[in-house]
């Protein structure tokens, strides 16, 4: 079944009692037992399961061509569950430009109970191979990465992980299952901040993990953490996500087309030092992205303004259509000075601006960036 069909029908059926085509959120926190103590509908308590969350997890697994999924209250809760499912003394390899929230979890939360980690350039398979130790149990990949849009070889990393007896987890938030499906390339788990493209309207917080194998022992521990830790999405959040995912393929493809146009404009602008977008032929990961991202190059990009931090902040301060805000994947275009968001441990260039391209007309977005960059271009002239 094609992705567009799955996005609408997976996990969704007319209501047996009323015939309603549109699902309704089941808000109950508890469920009735039979006289013999059994649960005839399979649900005990909303922390351990809810009909809407079951439907959402079924949908997520289908979109990623996985076997099972676990939904969480946020992307951070999902990533933390993966790391907490490991043991003290285990070793994790993560990208050297990993999302700053993931880096913070590894450095500030998990190092205290003995989880070791190494930050490596995951675009270099030899560097990853060299970083593997007898204690390595997990390789955490981001592709495209946040915020430099690096592309790493999922199949190559999967082979390294298998050889080491480790698990490969791919944060595919930027790509979505519309663009790439890491499980089909050998990854064991795929992670999404469902707040972003899957929610798509900047109005719901969530996260998810999808497993290639329902019997994966690590995923079993993750499911246990989901239930016992309780960081689960509300029934209404699950309903919002399921409703939004129905239009995911259409939204992402339109946003990707806009992003390509914006990236090409920025690549030729005199005030721009560098554009990070895998859809540009000059991008270091362009050829690899063409192979493993059959759905396109995505709607995220970043660019470096010629000049310093102050020049970049001045440019972002002049936008009129773009909204200056953190997050990504919504219908509206967002722009932010990334280093100032990431804090003192940031490795992001101080002149870099990260852009989430929305569904506005591409010509309007280009015109807005053009006028915002004009003073910097005049100084270059």
Set 53, 196, 251, 354: catalytic member: 196
Quote the Cα angle for 163-168-171, to 5°. Answer: 160
Does residue 189 carry a pLDDT above 90? yes
Distances in Å between the Cα of 321 and the Cα atoms of 14, 250, 352 are: 40, 22, 19
DSSP for 316-357? HTT-SSSEE-S---SSS-EEEEHHHHH-TT--S-TTEEEEE-
Return the pLDDT at 347: 86
Residue 139, helix vs strand vs coil: strand
Does residue 373 carry a pLDDT above 90? yes
Structure tokens at 152: 């790493």
Average of per-residue pLDDT values in the chain: 96
Cβ(105)–Cβ(79) below 8 Å: yes
Structure tokens at 250: 């259409």
What DSSP state is assigned to residue 109? I
* Dihedral of alpha carbons 160, 126, 142, 248, sign: negative
Q: Which residue has the higher pLDDT, 90 or 46?
A: 90
Q: How confident is the model at residue 344 (pLDDT cuts 50, 70, 90)?
A: confident
pLDDT digits (tens, 9 = 90+) for 236-250: 999 999 999 999 999
CA distance linking residue 279 with residue 297, whole number of Å: 5
Does residue 149 carry a pLDDT above 70? yes
pLDDT digits (tens, 9 = 90+) for 247-262: 999 999 999 999 999 9
Does residue 288 carry a pLDDT above 70? yes
Averaged pLDDT, 327-342: 95
Q: Is 345 labeled as catalytic in the residue annotation?
A: no
Q: Across the strands, what pairs with 92?
A: 117, 138
CA distance linking residue 135 with residue 338, whole number of Å: 33
CA distance linking residue 243 with residue 237, whole number of Å: 10
Q: Is 196 labeled as catalytic in the residue annotation?
A: yes
Does residue 280 carry a pLDDT above 90? yes
Cβ(335)–Cβ(323) below 8 Å: yes
pLDDT digits (tens, 9 = 90+) for 39-73: 888 888 989 999 999 999 999 999 999 999 999 99
Q: If you compute the radius of gyration of the chain from its CA atoms, what whole number of angstroms results?
A: 21
pLDDT digits (tens, 9 = 90+) for 193-216: 999 999 999 999 999 999 999 999
Q: Is 47 labeled as catalytic in the residue annotation?
A: yes
CA distance linking residue 134 with residue 87, whole number of Å: 14
CA distance linking residue 268 with residue 377, whole number of Å: 11
Cβ(252)–Cβ(293) below 8 Å: no
**Which of these, 254, 281, 230, 288, lies nearest to 77 by C-alpha position?**
230
CA distance linking residue 88 with residue 97, whole number of Å: 24
Return the pLDDT at 380: 65
Q: How confident is the model at residue 381 (pLDDT cuts 50, 70, 90)?
A: low
Work out the percent of the chain whose per-residue pLDDT is above 70: 99
Q: Does the reported pTM lie above 0.75?
A: yes
Averaged pLDDT, 2-27: 92
Residue 115, helix vs strand vs coil: coil
Distances in Å between the Cα of 115 and the Cα atoms of 82, 83, 88, 108 are: 12, 8, 5, 11
CA distance linking residue 18 with residue 38, whole number of Å: 25
Q: Which domains are present in the chain?
A: 3-245 (3.40.640.10), 248-380 (3.90.1150.10)
Cβ(177)–Cβ(3) below 8 Å: yes
**Which of these, 236, 239, 247, 244, lies nearest to 202 by C-alpha position?**
244
Does residue 376 carry a pLDDT above 90? no
Set 47, 243, 274, 290: catalytic member: 47
Set 153, 171, 237, 368: catalytic member: 171
Q: Is 228 labeled as catalytic in the residue annotation?
A: no
Set 12, 99, 137, 188: catalytic member: 99
CA distance linking residue 137 with residue 247, whole number of Å: 36
Q: How confident is the model at residue 378 (pLDDT cuts 50, 70, 90)?
A: low
CA distance linking residue 220 with residue 305, whole number of Å: 46
Q: What is the dihedral of CA 358, 361, 363, 366, to 10 degrees?
A: -20
Q: How confident is the model at residue 107 (pLDDT cuts 50, 70, 90)?
A: very high
């Amino acid at each position: 079944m094609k992705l567009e069909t799955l996005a609408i029908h997976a996990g969704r059926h007319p209501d047996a009692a009323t015939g309603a085509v549109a699902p309704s959120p089941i808000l109950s926190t508890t469920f009735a037992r039979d006289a013999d103590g059994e649960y005839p509908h399979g649900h005990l308590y909303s922390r351990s399961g809810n009909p809407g969350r079951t439907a959402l997890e079924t949908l997520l697994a289908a979109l990623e061509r996985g076997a099972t999924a676990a939904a969480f209250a946020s992307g951070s809760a999902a990533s933390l569950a993966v790391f907490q499912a490991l043991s003290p003394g285990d070793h994790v390899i993560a990208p050297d430009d990993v999302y700053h929230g993931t880096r913070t979890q590894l450095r500030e939360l998990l190092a205290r109970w003995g989880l070791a980690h190494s930050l490596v350039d995951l675009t270099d398979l030899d560097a990853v191979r060299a970083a593997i130790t007898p204690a390595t149990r997990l390789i955490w990949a981001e592709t495209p990465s946040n915020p430099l849009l690096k592309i790493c070889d999922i199949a190559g990393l999967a082979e390294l992980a298998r050889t080491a007896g480790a698990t490969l987890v791919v944060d595919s938030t930027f790509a979505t299952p519309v663009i790439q499906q890491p499980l089909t390339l050998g990854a064991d788990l795929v992670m999404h901040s469902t707040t972003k493209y899957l929610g798509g309207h900047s109005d719901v917080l969530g996260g998810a993990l999808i497993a290639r194998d329902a019997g994966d022992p690590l995923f079993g521990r993750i499911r246990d953490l989901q239930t016992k830790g309780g960081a689960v999405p509300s029934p209404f959040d699950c309903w919002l996500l399921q409703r939004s995912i129905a239009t995911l393929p259409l939204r992402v493809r339109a946003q990707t087309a806009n992003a390509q146009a914006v990236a090409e404009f920025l690549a030729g602008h005199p005030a721009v030092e560098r554009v990070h977008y895998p859809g540009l032929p000059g991008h270091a990961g362009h050829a690899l992205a063409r192979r493993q991202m059959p759905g396109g190059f995505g709607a995220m990009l970043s660019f470096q303004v010629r000049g310093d931090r102050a020049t970049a902040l001045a440019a972002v301060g002049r936008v009129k259509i773009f909204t200056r805000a953190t997050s990504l994947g919504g219908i509206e275009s967002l722009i932010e000075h990334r280093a100032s968001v990431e804090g003192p441990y940031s490795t992001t260039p101080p002149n870099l601006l990260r852009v989430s391209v929305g569904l506005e007309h591409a010509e309007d977005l280009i015109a807005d960036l053009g006028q915002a960059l004009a003073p910097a271009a005049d100084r270059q002239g």
